[in-house]
Structure 1
C-alpha cells in the first residue's frame, strides 16, 4: 500500500516481541528467553546488560581465568538492544572526539587509540573464527562518498586531520569519482570519496547471540528477563532476586537512563534502518558492490549501508524525533518521515535497487554522552565498573572495552588501561525540557543544512550552530 506521496507504507513491526529488527528476526536459533534470576545468587563478577559490552567483558574475563564466577543479568534477551539492531559495521575510528581526548591525554594517546580500534576489527574476526560464530563477518573495508561540494570539503578535512596526527594513506585515503566507481559502480552522483580497509560487515544479532553462547560454553551464567532495579557495590537487585558479587559492572548503554539517578547521563538517540528484499544477482552486478564493504556518506543526516549475507541492502540513518515523555519505547522504533527519507536515499544512492520491495523497518536507541566520548571506568575501592557511552560506535568499541575491563579488574597495567577513554568522565545532559528542545532543534537544523547544501552547493553555516552538540566528524 502506498501513501499519498507514492512511497510504500512502512512494513509492520514483527509480532514476535524479541524480533525487533531484520537481524533478530533472522537469528537461526530459538529466541526463547533463558532462565530468569530467582532468589539470591553469588559470584565474583556481576555484569548488568547482555549487549556487546557486557558479553565481551564476560567473555574475556572467563577466558582469562576459567575459575572466575561470572554472571550476566539482562532485562530482555541477549542482543535485544542496540547490539541486535545496529548497522552491522565492525568499523575503526574512535568513539568520541580526538581533540577532547587529547586535552586530557595528549595526541599520542589518541593515535594509540586509533590503532587499537583498527586491531579491534581483526580481534572480533579472530573470535568469530575461533568460536565458530556464524554471523557473516567479512572484512572488505568501507567507502564514504560525497555528492555535493560541501561534502567533498568535509571529506578532505577529515582525511587531512587523520594524516596530520599519524594515520597514513594505507589507513584512509581520498578517492576521485572514477576510483569510487571502481568500488561501487551503481552509486549515483558521487563526486569523491574515502576508503579505509579497517571495516568489516556482520549480522550483529547473530554476533551477539553467538557471543552469548560462547560465554556459556566458557561457564558464564546468563539470566534473561531479569531487569536490574538497583546497582550498588557488591549487589545487583533484580526484580526476582539479588546477585551478590565482589565486582559489579554496568553495561546498560541507553537503558541506563531508566534508573532514576541516571536519567541525565545519556541522550537516548534513535537510529532507524530499512532493508530491501534479497536482490537478484543481476542487480548486484549492476551495482558492482563488493561483498563485505560498507558504504555511507557525509551528509549532516548521513546514511550507512551494508550488503547483507542474504543479498539485501540494509540502510540506516539518523533523524528520528526525540520524545519527551517516553524516550525509549517501541513507538520510537519506526517513524514515517525517517522511513520516507531512507527510501529516498536508497533510490538516489543505488538506483539499480530503486524498485526493490522494502521488507523491514526498525530502530534502536544508542547512548549519547554529553561530550560524545566513550568511557571505561573501574573503582577498585567499591568494585563498581562501567563500560559504554559508545555513541554509535559500539560494535568495535565494546570489544575493546571488554578487554580493558578485564585488565582493570585483574589489576593489570596494559596498553589498554592507558587508552584515553579509561577513567574519562562526562557531565550530564541538561534537564528536560531543555534536552528535548535541543534535540528537536538539532535535527531540524541538520535536515535544513543538507537541503541548503544540495540546493546551493555551498556549506551551510547554520550547521555550526549545533556543532557543540554533535559527534566529531
Structure 2
C-alpha cells in the first residue's frame, strides 16, 4: 500500500439509503461479489460500506498467494455436502487462479501476477514425510498426478537454495500477486461498472434486508456480510470467527550477492512443512516477503487495528528468514505488518445465503482467501441473481460450525496450540525418525485442525 502512495479516501455514507444489494466490507470478497453482479446485471444498484478504505484488511495485507488449495478441510466438506460436492469445490479452486488472471488482464490491473506454482519445502525427515502424505491425500481429492511433484534436495536447490532443505513438493496450481495493486485496481473497476463504495462508514449491526451503520441505515433486498476476521466486531458475532494474526516482514531489495546466495530465479510462492507455518514470495523488485503466525491470537479477539506488529513476531520472522536464507542476513528489513484472517471452529470456510432474509455471508478462508474470495464472490452473485448453478451446490455451501469457546478458554487454547507446535517443530528437527511429533498430533486433534 505504501508503494502505491497515499490512499485517497472515498466519501462516507451521507444518511439513510436504499439499494438492491448492500455489501459490508470492501475487501476481496465484497469487491468480487459486486464485480460479478454488475457484470451480469448492470442495472442493479450495488452499494459497499467499508469502515476504513477498500483493501484495508486482509485483502491488502496478505502474502500474495493465489493457491488452488481449498479454504478448509476436504473431509469436512465431504461430510457436509457429499464427496462429489467436495470434489467440485476443488476443481473450481483450480480454475479460479486463471479466472482472476483473466479479469486482471481484461481490465488492465497490473498486480505483478505470475503463475510459477507453489513450492512446499522440508528441512527434516518428518516434514518430508508429511509432504509425501500431502501428495497421497491431494490425489484422493482430485489433484492430477502430473501436477504434484516431489523434489529431492538437489532438485529443490535448482529452484531455490533453502538452508537445510531436504526436499519439496511442487504444484503449478498457484501464482504470485501484489495484493494491494489487485484490491485497489478491483475497487476502481467496480466503481467504473456502477458500484458505489462508501468508506469511513462503520457497520454496527445487520438483519433481514438492512444494515445499521454509524452514518445511517441501508435498506436492501440483499445483504452480504464480507468481513472475514473482522466479523467479531459486529454485535452478536463475537464467537463465530476467531480473528487470527498473520504477520509479515519484507526486506529491502537484495543486492546481486544476496540473490546469488538464494538462487531464487522464478516467482514460485514458498511455504514450509513446519507446524508453525511460514510462507514467502519473491517480489518483482527483488525483495523477499515472509509471513507467519508470530503471536497468533490476542485475548478477547482483540487485535491492533492498524496492523502494527508485535516485536516478538518480528523477531521470530527475522530469525526464520535468516535461518532459511543465511545470505540475506545483511539485507535490512524494510517493513513489518499484521493482517487478520478468519478461522471458524472447524477450520473450514463457507458461503451461505438465506433467500427468506436476503442475508448472505462468506468467509473463514483460514489463510487461502486470495483465491477463495473470487470463488465466493461468484457464488454469492449466483445466489443473489437466483441462479441454481454448479457454484451454489459446491461442498462449502451453507455449512455452520459450532461457536468458539468463551474466554479465557479460547485464549488459553489458541496460545497453547502454537506453543506446542513450536515444541513439536523443535523435536522433529532433532529426530531422524521421519515421524510427526506426538505433540503436534495431539494439538491438532484438540484444535480440530
Residue 365 (1) aligns with residue 340 (2): yes
| Offset, 1:332 | 6.6
| Offset, 1:282 | 4.1
1:346-361 aligned at under 5 Å gives the runs: 346-361=321-336
Say whether the 8 Å CA contact 2:81–2:395 is kept in structure 1: yes
| Offset, 1:260 | 2.8
- Aligned pair partner of 1:265 in 216, 240, 243: 240
| Offset, 1:81 | 0.4
- After superposition, the C-alpha distances for 1:130-185 in whole angstroms (9 at most, x for unaligned) are 1111211111101110011110111111111112343222322211112212211x
**In structure 2, what is the Cα distance between the partners aligned to 1:433 and 1:343?**
30
- Aligned pair partner of 1:45 in 21, 27, 37: 21
Residue 131 (1) aligns with residue 89 (2): no
**In structure 2, what is the Cα distance between the partners aligned to 1:41 and 1:227?**
15
Say whether the 8 Å CA contact 1:96–1:471 is kept in structure 2: no
Say whether the 8 Å CA contact 2:16–2:218 is kept in structure 1: yes
**In structure 1, what is the Cα distance between the partners aligned to 2:351 and 2:308?**
28
1:462 is matched with which residue? 439
| Offset, 1:111 | 2.1
1:187-336 aligned at under 5 Å gives the runs: 187-325=162-300, 327-330=302-305, 333-336=308-311
Residue 91 (1) aligns with residue 67 (2): yes
1:75 is matched with which residue? 51
Mean alpha-carbon deviation: is it higher for 462-471 or for 238-247?
462-471
2:97 is matched with which residue? 121
State the 4+ residue runs in structure 1 displaced beyond 4 angstroms: 469-472
Specify whether residues 411 and 325 from structure 1 end up closer, same or farther in structure 2 by C-alpha distance, changes over 3 A only. closer
**In structure 1, what is the Cα distance between the partners aligned to 2:445 and 2:11?**
44
Counting matched residue pairs gives 447
**In structure 2, what is the Cα distance between the partners aligned to 1:106 and 1:70?**
34
Say whether the 8 Å CA contact 1:250–1:386 is kept in structure 2: yes
| Offset, 1:471 | 7.4
**In structure 2, what is the Cα distance between the partners aligned to 1:454 and 1:333?**
31
Specify whether residues 108 and 147 from structure 1 end up closer, same or farther in structure 2 by C-alpha distance, changes over 3 A only. same
1:424 is matched with which residue? 399
**In structure 2, what is the Cα distance between the partners aligned to 1:221 and 1:302?**
38
Say whether the 8 Å CA contact 1:272–1:333 is kept in structure 2: no
What is the root-mean-square deviation of aligned Cα atoms in Å?
A: 1.5
Say whether the 8 Å CA contact 1:86–1:204 is kept in structure 2: yes
2:31 is matched with which residue? 55
Residue 449 (1) aligns with residue 424 (2): yes
- Aligned pair partner of 2:356 in 381, 391, 401: 381
- Aligned pair partner of 1:393 in 368, 372, 380: 368
Specify whether residues 142 and 321 from structure 1 end up closer, same or farther in structure 2 by C-alpha distance, changes over 3 A only. closer
Say whether the 8 Å CA contact 1:58–1:215 is kept in structure 2: yes
**In structure 2, what is the Cα distance between the partners aligned to 1:165 and 1:272?**
30
Say whether the 8 Å CA contact 1:140–1:290 is kept in structure 2: no
1:27 is matched with which residue? 4
Report the TM-score when normalising by structure 2.
0.96
Three-state SS of the structure 2 residue aligned to 1:270 is strand
1:17 is matched with which residue? none
**In structure 2, what is the Cα distance between the partners aligned to 1:460 and 1:468?**
13
Unaligned runs of 5+ residues in structure 2 are none
**In structure 2, what is the Cα distance between the partners aligned to 1:149 and 1:95?**
27
Specify whether residues 161 and 361 from structure 1 end up closer, same or farther in structure 2 by C-alpha distance, changes over 3 A only. same
Specify whether residues 230 and 136 from structure 1 end up closer, same or farther in structure 2 by C-alpha distance, changes over 3 A only. same
Unaligned runs of 5+ residues in structure 1 are 1-23
- After superposition, the C-alpha distances for 1:178-199 in whole angstroms (9 at most, x for unaligned) are 2212211x22111111001011
Say whether the 8 Å CA contact 2:65–2:176 is kept in structure 1: yes
Say whether the 8 Å CA contact 1:371–1:469 is kept in structure 2: no
Specify whether residues 165 and 81 from structure 1 end up closer, same or farther in structure 2 by C-alpha distance, changes over 3 A only. closer
Specify whether residues 260 and 230 from structure 1 end up closer, same or farther in structure 2 by C-alpha distance, changes over 3 A only. closer
1:20 is matched with which residue? none
Specify whether residues 383 and 336 from structure 1 end up closer, same or farther in structure 2 by C-alpha distance, changes over 3 A only. same
**In structure 1, what is the Cα distance between the partners aligned to 2:313 and 2:265?**
27
Three-state SS of the structure 1 residue aligned to 2:299 is coil
| Offset, 1:102 | 1.0
| Offset, 1:452 | 1.2
Say whether the 8 Å CA contact 2:93–2:375 is kept in structure 1: yes
